[in-house]
Structure 1
């Protein structure tokens, strides 16, 4: 009998032993610190809501509530950082609230702050954390002294509940908030780009056509004075002025082409890009596969950006690529306008720093576009741009 018992004991599977990894100890630290965090958060939320609610009939009640919700937002930021450090939960930061100036004044800012969903969800988080903090602190404390064999499993179960709570209450409401943040950033890019374009146009007019027209006016004035006493000299000055007129007209055409060329408006991207390619210092093959007909063209703004992108990329080919040839391809892929400009030059292009490609990437991002650069050293460059198609408005273009 003794021998049979010994054999039976040897046949039993080994006892499950808990593994206290670094992740488990971080989870334990998070669960233990839940209690002090929960007490402070609960007290703050109760005092803030009750005080602001009691003073809501006065002039300071609603501003106090807006400020209190803003501070709850900051509490949520700290909690996301704690969860990120101890639980490995990576939650996107909600969209920052605009200040009074960007909101359009004090009362719009006040209304935005009072109805802030992120602030209210953080208040809810603070209120429900007190019983949860007591529970997690008690279970972990008991586990350390009584339930040691099963503590890792209890810790993982409680930590997963904490992770779900952080994701559910402290994350942005949905993709809309992140989209708002992107649009805020894109609006700044559009404004900066428009201001830079206006400065460039002003500089080109001042230094180019305007200077030539001033010189032309002075030359014609001198020719007028010499007309009777020195007809031959006056004729020579008029002839010189005629040349200045031609140069001024050419500069104005180039300036207008840089803003929005007439060929793009009249004949579309195929003809406009062929015109750009003809001015490149290296041979360029243009392949455009777009639906025929005026109605099937993309919106004017999209066409203009596509033209500008190809123009800039071909200028880069001319100035920096040391290429023997280039290719421009344009086609439609469902609701996207696709552009690919490739060359066989030296490569090494990127969108970092203050390069022209970085500016192009920002300009495309402002209209939900994408710029991808593939440019290994010594193997040429391929730049692919995606733009939203956005059908042309009927009756325009």
Structure 2
């Protein structure tokens, strides 16, 4: 197993300026504000297109032309959806995967039209084109009004001179009777109050803008991305690939171990026995000595086969369960290991095997790389999940970054809906938790 231990990555530099003071000037705030500004014209085009095309298609349903027109309308909405995903990725940093493509059952125009009309993703794009319009109008008006008023009040002392110069009044009018009398913000205290109020609004603006764009994130992710079913199918296909690759790697390991170990030893044993057979009549003592050596080779070959069988699926795990199997595994570790297994009954055999080999790899990691003085293994059940915790007091710094042994282990666990969580600060201790389905 590759080492997963090493020096930690340097922590990112933190600014001394509080987040609340930096937010109005942060690039994220202005990118989100630009997103809200662009949403109105984009939503107007999308809404107009969707309503017009669907209305035309619905009106033509009394003829054959209505069906392809509706299909064309849905395809157009999918095109607008692609534009919206690009806009969300660029301005909201929201990366939404493309929805499942249209897959006609067979070649031909009508098959393609039917596939478009049956596609749930196409209708979700149409729904987005309709629902996004009223929200875009509200978000545009609210964001532009609030942000403009906030900055205008905050910077009021800088532009207050424009009122007497161009509007023939001393400042912003708070109250007036229509005959020239009224209350104006033209004195230094009044301008300070206006600027202070503007500052509060400016500081609150980024969070209001973030709240508005959060609704857009939900709409884009929920309506323009792949469905939950399609996402789950994709995950299962990926997990199946991981399982196939793992099984192929295990088969290659078994073949290599057999070829380099027991098979080579048995070939040598057969040759030695052949020579002993030839010398049996001429030199019985030499033949007896060769048979005695062959007997020792047989014992070694049997031990290698037992070790190989233990690596495939240990007999003690099948016969006695996870507790004794992990205790036997801990006894072979180079550091003292305390094992605690609290299970009322045994989980599914496949899950039991995965838990065993997970602990095996983690203890190998502890032996080779952790520089630990002791370790512990705890196994328990929570509802319908099997929890496995392997801890050590070593140097820490374990990571699931790509290329490490823990990354490969995490992929294998995810193939069975499992999860691997690593908590390993520099200097230790290291706690690695495996969360597996029970599946009794």
Q: TM-score, normalised by structure 1?
A: 0.71
CA shift for structure 1 position 114: 6.1
Of the three residues 314, 320, 328, the one matched with 1:261 is 314
CA shift for structure 1 position 263: 0.5
Q: Which residue of 2 aligns with 1:181?
A: 234
- Aligned residues between the structures: 344
Q: Which residue of 2 aligns with 1:80?
A: 85
CA distance in 2, matches of 1:207, 1:349: 32
Contact 1:223–1:237, Cα closer than 8 Å, also in 2: yes
CA shift for structure 1 position 357: 0.9
Q: Which residue of 2 aligns with 1:34?
A: 43
CA shift for structure 1 position 355: 1.4
Of the three residues 401, 405, 424, the one matched with 1:356 is 405
CA distance in 2, matches of 1:319, 1:89: 41
Q: Which residue of 1 aligns with 2:97?
A: 93
Mapping of residues 1-397 of structure 1, within 5 Å: 22=30, 23-36=32-45, 73=78, 75-85=80-90, 88=92, 90=94, 92-93=96-97, 96-97=100-101, 115-125=118-128, 128=130, 132=133, 166=220, 169-173=223-227, 175-291=228-344, 296-391=345-440
CA distance in 2, matches of 1:48, 1:251: 73
CA distance in 2, matches of 1:329, 1:93: 39
Provide the secondary structure at the position in 1 that maps to 2:400: coil
CA shift for structure 1 position 184: 2.1
CA distance in 2, matches of 1:356, 1:244: 35
Evaluate the alpha carbon distance shift between residue 48 and residue 225 of structure 1 in structure 2; reply closer, same or farther with a 3 A threshold: farther
Moved more, 244-253 or 24-33: 24-33
Give unmatched runs, 5+ long, in structure 2.
1-23, 150-208
Give unmatched runs, 5+ long, in structure 1.
1-18, 150-155, 392-397
Evaluate the alpha carbon distance shift between residue 165 and residue 332 of structure 1 in structure 2; reply closer, same or farther with a 3 A threshold: closer
Residues 192-227 of structure 1: CA deviation (Å, up to 9, x unaligned): 111111111111111111111111111111111111
